[in-house]
Structure 1
């Protein structure tokens, strides 16, 4: 709720994202988190005009494999064509009368038949079956009534994106500096990464942009996740070195924090919590990465943690597990979240188990971290309704070289958000 008396006079109105470099001040008006008008504008100006993550090619490895999911709030499904071998992303709606065509979340199918009137389509999207076709007359051209592809579909190293904007820049241009960090994730397994079946799915009663901030926020870790750090200490993990790293603006709203952390990474850095059984294999993988990519890049892949935001709503956490997470607003104060675990193909069972355990015990909705984060974000949303305070401050680090616990990465997101949404405070008062 935005209170009219909390807003400045129209004569002194400012953008909802207000930056003053000379004063080392960056602030965001809280109406961005509560306004229904701004929420609708986000759907129109951000989610309809960005590249959005659909899934990973490993999820549709074989001809006819498919997954369905909402993307940008719209039902779509991704399928590998049986004849072409290409990955398609179709609008999940029958071209006859509109019913959903793909009705299961995942599987393998030669055809997709609309249950309403039994119009049938193949995995390439072609209309191949119409009951009583003769009723339409000999001159009707059914070739134009195949499934409709999303306007743009492209893949970067197995990550499949779609856009509803036919005129958007190509995917690699859009990804800008984020490409380097996706490369670091994929090169950890020499390009052979896969999404493990199964998802974490949950809702948060908070604005989606709060999760954007939280996902790339190193500042909250020690205070919010105290229980997890006590758990690590109980396992013998040395936390005396703390967390050190940097934040980077990657362009186009993308950003990353990259840091050294004492809890290790099961890709190639061993810590006590990974168990003695995995020690030799993890060290072998570490040396393999250094041999393959050179000392500097190999150690960077093996030893460095990354929380990567690909604007607007894809987060890749390359930490104690590689988690791919998307989130979609349902209202100004509610969002859906889906997360998948990514891992190298054909890795040893004990390492795969270690990843899955980390995926659940830290990053899962019932784990150490995610419930803490949900409580924090919902608490923020509740606090916004109190009024009295107009602005959130996101200025940390403006007076020094960026660190992983600063907010440079969040400012990168908010600048792009303001560029697309164009929100001003006096507009929200109306």
Structure 2
């Protein structure tokens, strides 16, 4: 058990000094259980949180059940075609009404007392109803419904009844990157069936930082760099690209041109047999969007952080990664792959293969990342070093992908919310927090 040194509550966690080009984070933020508990109420109870993709509930009655912000919820498409997000808890005595991760039903049944709910959340059946008085009304006991909305197929929920922003307002500059994802298919995008569920013995924020940290790529992922080179492909360069702060904690890194994109950017690692089809797809994007927009969609690798806990890695495959805290020193990770609905079957298999090869729990990259963030978490036990430094790139007008601008944007929003900022105003620009790159 970690014993934390208690410091005054006014002692800051984030030390942001643009004049001195210094940005430091007290390592208590990764180890203190009191802070971890406060994150649930000040961040996860207040933000818009990612639930899932509309394609996961394609037909009336289809549903997925998962934890969001520490709360069990059900995302279901009702018989009326509307997607809703419910508390996965019976209003009678609290048991889960849905114990399977996904499926299709006409109704949900609580296994405790057989209370039954429609797939729209209404209470429709109560055994032995004469045990209740004349004031009992089924309409008062439907599944609790959470406020939810979607943008380009990505469904979010908020547990804050006073949420000051619409989803689109909350997403701020991240909408541009979600557009780039969804525009990859005129037929729509879909989550490939099957999720990867794993975790790490480290604080959840370490994985958020790691996921937008390109600085580590060649140092930590030497095996994958060698693998790419052995197949005739060029791994990401140490320099180049740009980072952007997208507002409200969101950030992105972008690497043009792409090293490999099964969507429309061929490299030798994909094999010569699929080259004509990939190049034909690239030509269709130019016809549909024009050369500049087509290059923006298909010719760059991107890592998008949506505050607080969603990563979309749009590179050799599209990975949606939800990272949930489990106390100060543990996290749960849920990853799925996204792809065009109308994708060529051979290209789909290629995409799935590279998704697993690089970003799968047993792939080239993810085990490296988990091992290193767990190493950081263990290193924090030596409290002689109090701060971690995230100041790289503060001296640049246009930070590169190897700089730490997206991580600083994340931490500035974390700091605002943990200090009780109600989020009603758009934070002003600070030196070193500028955005960059094409729109």
Same fold (TM over 0.5): yes
Residues 378 and 128 (structure 1 numbering): CA distance in 2 closer, same or farther, change over 3 Å? same
- Residues 185 and 342 of structure 2 are in contact (CA less than 8 Å); yes or no, is this contact kept in structure 1? no
Q: Deviations over 1:197-248 (max 9, x none)?
A: 1011111000100001000011000000000000011111134965520000
The Cα shift of 1:260 comes to 2.2
Match of 2:153 among 151, 154, 158: 158
Query: What is the deviation of 1:261?
Result: 5.4
User: 1:237·1:262 contact (CA, 8 Å) conserved in 2?
Assistant: no
Q: Which residue of 2 aligns with 1:412?
A: 409
1:41 corresponds to: 38
- The alpha-carbon deviation at position 173 of structure 1 amounts to 0.2
Alignment of 1:370-389 (within 5 A): 370-389=366-385
Report the Cα offset of residue 359 of structure 1.
1.2
Which residue pairs with 2:61 in the alignment?
A: 64
Say if 1:332 and 1:177 are closer, same or farther in 2 by CA, change over 3 A.
same
CA–CA distance in structure 2, aligned partners of residues 246 and 66 of structure 1: 38
> Does residue 52 in structure 1 map to residue 52 in structure 2?
no
- Distance in 1 (CA, whole Å) between partners of 2:182 and 2:273 is 25
CA distance in 2 between partners of 1:158 and 1:170 (Å): 16
TM-score, length basis structure 1: 0.94
Question: Which residue of the partner structure matches residue 344 of structure 1?
Answer: 340
SS state of the match for residue 406, structure 1? coil
| 1:78 and 2:70 are equivalent in the alignment | no
Q: For the residues of structure 1 that align with 2:338 and 2:63, how far apart are their CA atoms?
A: 18
1:4 Cα deviation after fit: 3.8
TM-score (norm 2): 0.92
Unaligned runs of 5+ in 1: 424-430
What's the offset of the Cα at 1:408? 0.8
Moved more, 133-142 or 61-70: 133-142
Decide whether aligned partners of structure 1 residues 375 and 388 sit closer, same or farther in structure 2, where only a CA change above 3 A counts.
same
Q: CA deviation at 1:297?
A: 1.1
Q: Is the 8 A contact 1:243 1:260 kept in 2?
A: no
Alignment-derived partner of residue 399 in structure 1 = 395
Which structure is higher in RCO with an 8 Å CA cutoff and minimum separation 6? 1
- For the residue of structure 1 that corresponds to 2:373, the secondary structure is helix
Q: Indicate how the Cα distance of structure 1 residues 178 and 41 shifts in structure 2: closer, same or farther if over 3 A, else same.
A: same
Equivalent residue, structure 1, for 2:260: 264
Aligned mates of 2:406, 2:17 — CA distance in 1? 17
Structure 2: which 5+ runs fail to align? 421-439
Partner-residue secondary structure (3-state), 1:402: coil
Per-residue CA shift, 1:135-168, capped at 9, x if unaligned?
A: 2133422211111101x10011111100100121
Q: 2:213 is matched with which residue?
A: 217
Check whether the contact 1:238–1:262 (CA below 8 A) recurs between aligned residues: no
Check if 1:331 corresponds to 2:340.
Answer: no
User: Structure 2 matches for 1:67-216, cutoff 5 A?
Assistant: 67-82=64-79, 84-150=80-146, 152-168=147-163, 169-190=165-186, 192-216=188-212
State the distance in 2 between where 1:262 and 1:139 align: 64
Aligned partner of residue 91 in structure 2, secondary structure: coil
What's the RMSD between the two structures over aligned residues?
1.6
**What is the deviation of 1:253?**
0.3
Question: For residue 424 of structure 2, what is the aligned residue in structure 1?
Answer: none
Task: Give the conservation status (yes or no) of the 8 Å contact 1:2–1:31.
Answer: no
Q: Deviations over 1:387-407 (max 9, x none)?
A: 210100000001112001000
Matched residue SS, 1:288: helix
- From 284, 293, 306, the counterpart of 2:289: 293
Regions of 4+ moved over 4 Å: 239-243
